Amino acid sequence: MALHSEQDSTDDYLFKIVLLGDSGVGKSNLLARYARNEFFANSKSTIGVEFQTQKMEINGKEVKAQIWDTAGQERFRAVTSAYYRGAVGALLVYDITRRQTFDSISRWLHELHTHCDMNVITILVGNKKDLKDAREVSTADGKSLAETESLFFMETSALDSSNVNAAFETIVKEIYNILSKKVM
């Protein structure tokens, strides 16, 4: 019986996480790879998905991450406050082959901090690391920005799957660690 009520209490672990970054950096594909192990070459497929709920087990507890995707409104710099509301984690994504998407990160970070708590757990994600020959942003530049802004950092590829699970899991584990300490 005691075991049962403990399992029930794990329903409390539901975290909202938002994907942010310029259009075309691979946000929807990162989510598709993580949640469904899929990749799509045509970015039009982005439209429609609002969020995906993904289950994880941490310290024997079930944790659910509700991961929100922008569904294209970032193209018009019109991500609504409803999108940010209640988020406890964020993935700030740029494309390592387009410098401009890296330069936009400070704007996304500013917008995130305008809408959310300053303590929102954030990871900086340099996506498309499979495109080595087209790289415009060095790993060192990514790391350095992450250190300056106190963000986690990872380079990923939604195409070949590298570090995709790790990026999402880093965020979820960190949120869990911080919130479970607060509860205790």
Q: Is 101 in the site for Mg ion (CB under 5 A)?
A: no
Interface mask toward Mg ion for 38-77; x: CB under 5 A: --------x-------------------------------
Name the residues that contact ligand GDP, by CB under 6 A: 23-29, 40-41, 43, 46, 127-128, 130-131, 157-159
Task: Find all residues with CB under 8 Å of 14, minimum gap 6, and list them.
Answer: 53, 63, 64, 66
In whole angstroms, the minimum distance from the beta carbon of 5 to ligand GDP comes to 41
In whole angstroms, the minimum distance from the beta carbon of 72 to Mg ion comes to 6
Question: In the complex with ligand GDP, which residue's Cβ is closer, 126 or 176?
Answer: 126
Residue 66's binding partner among Mg ion, ligand GDP, none (Cβ under 5 to 8 angstroms by kind) is none
Beta strands 121-127 and 152-155 are parallel
Cα–Cα distance for residue pair 76/81, rounded to 1 Å: 14
Q: Is 28 in the site for Mg ion (CB under 5 A)?
A: yes
**130-167 b/e with 16+ CB inside 10 Å = b?**
eeeeebebeeeebeebbeeeebbbbbbbbbeebbbeeb
